[in-house]
């Protein structure tokens, strides 16, 4: 580890970015990232074996009284006899075909793919020199991240990687509070190390703070992913925001950006809350979105299932049309959508996940010109439906109507998407009416023509003070997109 830490310092010293916020503020979001609007997130790992409740099974199986604790004892026996590490031989990925995954993601209309390289549980889904607890040496005996990156690149998809390693500081700690297989001595390199017990998730100062040894290990692990796999996007979960991590985040960002400069690449870091100084990376909203347009680039990460990020036997799935509605809303506000799926332990993607992706892909094949490479218009939209601002709101039904419109611009056209099709094919866009523009910031341009994407029938349209009125043969639950020519 010492040699790698020395290398990290050398790369930072000779590169254009230093490990301080002033230097990192020179970072600019790449144009390629501004163009991509839809990506695939993947939670796949040891938690896919029990497939019970959600991806926090590895922690909750050690929490006395939890459903996972009781399920674990009833299904596998006491935690002293069968612990988290005993799932590894059961995680075989015997039916995994990364090329098939990549083709499905391409058919879904995705542009980038972000697999979880290491989740909170500490099992690495890649070939590592830092720890032996990885999918190359155990379980599937495959370099999952490397193979998936190769398959995605072959399909023209941009590869990313997600690290949740920092949460390992506390994730398995409850296993030390009773008779389980998590016992002292715990040392660096052990799967269960450090398993801290006292902990408050929301404490920015984290008592106890992560140790220097643990943070050095975190830094080296993350830089190993950067150097071995060269991800275009590096995603972090929420807990990296704690005060003790700040010097390490600056080091990590400087290293990643400097490495990218060496390779002639442009890269992106996704973060939550205020882990990174605003402007030095791209913020992410978990399971939610913003209520209004933003002047900066941002991302939503959510899942096809409301109750879990991983595959479980009881997943509650979202309808494809609701996900597409959110995608359109997010893009209209300068964002992009990273949509998670949860493969089974054998490496197959559940029919429900695949079906949702195919429905999204079918819609994007017709309407993608309003999404891909699009930019926000002067306003994001109009309509009666209110959006809950911020995270953890994707379970709230929005019930969009045909009067809820979202706007984007691309290729010299204005696109107006009704978030739900009208029952009778009639639509009115109030923002595009003939309105007073002298005293109010209203649209006052000349509309030349209107097309309905996906329809062979040209829509009829008129315009007056009440709005742009369109009649089309397009109806249904999916968003309906109108392509508007403006002179």
Question: Which stretches of the chain drop beneath a pLDDT of 50?
Answer: none
Cβ proximity of 284 and 300 under 8 Å: yes
The candidate with the shortest Cα–Cα distance to 193, out of 177, 171, 212, is: 171
pTM above 0.85, yes or no: yes
Cβ proximity of 375 and 408 under 8 Å: yes
Q: Rounded to the nearest 5 degrees, what angle is found at the Cα of 41, between the Cα atoms of 38 and 46?
A: 170
Cα–Cα distance between 121 and 47 in angstroms, integer? 9
Cα–Cα distance between 414 and 134 in angstroms, integer? 49
pLDDT at 200 (0 to 100): 81
The candidate with the shortest Cα–Cα distance to 11, out of 211, 226, 199, 197, is: 226
- CA dist 248 to 220, 237, 429, 462, Å? 10, 15, 49, 58
DSSP 127-156: --SS-S-BTTTSTT-S-HHHHHHHHHHHTT
Please report, for the chain, how many H helices and E strands are present, in that order.
12, 16
Cα–Cα distance between 104 and 173 in angstroms, integer? 38
Q: 75-112: string of b/e by CB count within 10 Å (b at 16+)?
A: ebeebeebbbbebbeebbbeebebeebbebbbbbbbbb
pLDDT at 380 (0 to 100): 98
Q: Give the three-class secondary structure for 244.
A: helix
Cβ proximity of 122 and 191 under 8 Å: yes
Please report where in the chains the tokens 């009781």 appear, as a residue: 70
pLDDT at 202 (0 to 100): 82
pLDDT at 297 (0 to 100): 98
Each residue's pLDDT tens digit, 182-241: 999 999 999 999 999 977 878 899 888 999 999 999 999 999 999 999 999 999 999 999
User: Which burial class, exposed, middle or buried, applies to 435 when counting CB atoms under 10 A from its CB (0-12, 13-18, 19+)?
Assistant: middle
pLDDT at 438 (0 to 100): 86
Cβ proximity of 117 and 225 under 8 Å: yes
List of domains in the chain: 2-286 (3.20.20.80), 376-486 (2.60.40.1180)
DSSP 95-120: T--HHHHHHHHHHTT--EEEEEEE-T
> Residue 42's beta-bridge partner residues?
115, 341
pLDDT at 102 (0 to 100): 99
pLDDT at 198 (0 to 100): 78
pLDDT at 201 (0 to 100): 76
Cβ proximity of 339 and 299 under 8 Å: no
């Amino acid at each position: 580890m010492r040699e790698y830490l020395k290398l990290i310092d050398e790369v930072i010293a000779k590169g254009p970015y230093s490990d301080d916020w002033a230097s990192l503020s020179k970072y600019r979001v790449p144009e390629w990232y501004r163009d991509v609007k839809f990506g695939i997130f993947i939670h796949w790992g040891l938690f896919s074996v029990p497939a019970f409740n959600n991806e926090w099974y590895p922690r909750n199986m050690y929490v006395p009284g939890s459903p996972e604790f009781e399920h674990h004892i009833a299904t596998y026996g006491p935690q002293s006899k069968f612990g988290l590490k005993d799932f590894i031989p059961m995680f075989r990925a015997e039916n995994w075909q990364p090329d098939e995954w990549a083709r499905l993601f391409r058919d879904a209309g995705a542009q980038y793919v972000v697999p979880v390289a290491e989740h909170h549980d500490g099992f690495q889904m890649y070939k590592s020199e830092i720890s032996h607890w990885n999918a190359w040496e155990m379980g599937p005996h495959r370099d999952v991240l490397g193979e998936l990156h190769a398959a995605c690149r072959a399909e023209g998809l941009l590869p990313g990687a997600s690290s949740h390693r920092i949460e390992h500081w506390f994730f398995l700690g409850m296993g030390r509070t009773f008779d389980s297989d998590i016992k002292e001595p715990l040392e660096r390199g052990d799967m269960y190390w450090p398993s801290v017990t006292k902990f408050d998730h929301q404490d920015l100062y984290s008592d106890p703070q992560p140790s220097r040894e643990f943070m050095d290990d975190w830094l080296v692990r993350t830089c190993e992913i950067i150097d071995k796999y060269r991800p275009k996007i590096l995603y972090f979960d929420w807990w990296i925001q704690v005060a003790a991590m700040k010097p390490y985040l600056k080091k990590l960002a400087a290293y990643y950006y400097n490495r990218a400069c060496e390779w002639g690449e442009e890269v992106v870091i996704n973060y939550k809350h205020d882990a990174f100084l605003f402007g030095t990376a791209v913020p992410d909203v978990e399971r939610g979105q913003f209520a209004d347009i933003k002047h900066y680039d941002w991302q939503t990460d959510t899942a096809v299932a409301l109750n879990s990020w991983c595959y479980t036997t009881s997943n509650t799935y979202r309808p494809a049309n609701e996900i597409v509605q959110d995608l359109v809303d997010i893009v209209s506000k300068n964002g992009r959508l990273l949509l998670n799926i949860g493969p089974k332990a054998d490496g197959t993607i559940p029919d429900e996940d695949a079906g949702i992706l195919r429905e999204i892909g079918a819609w994007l094949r017709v309407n993608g010109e309003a999404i891909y490479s699009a930019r926000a218009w002067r306003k994001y939209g109009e309509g009666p439906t209110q959006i809950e601002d911020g995270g953890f709101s994707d379970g709230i039904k929005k019930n969009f109507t045909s009067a809820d419109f979202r706007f984007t611009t691309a290729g010299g056209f204005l696109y107006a998407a009704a978030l739900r099709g009208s029952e009778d094919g009639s639509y009115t866009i109030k923002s595009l009416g003939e309105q007073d523009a002298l005293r109010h910031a209203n649209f006052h341009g000349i509309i030349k023509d209107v097309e309905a994407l996906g329809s062979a029938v040209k829509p009829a349209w008129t315009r007056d003070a009440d709005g742009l009125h369109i009649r089309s043969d397009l109806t249904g639950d999916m968003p309906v997109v109108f392509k508007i020519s403006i002179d």
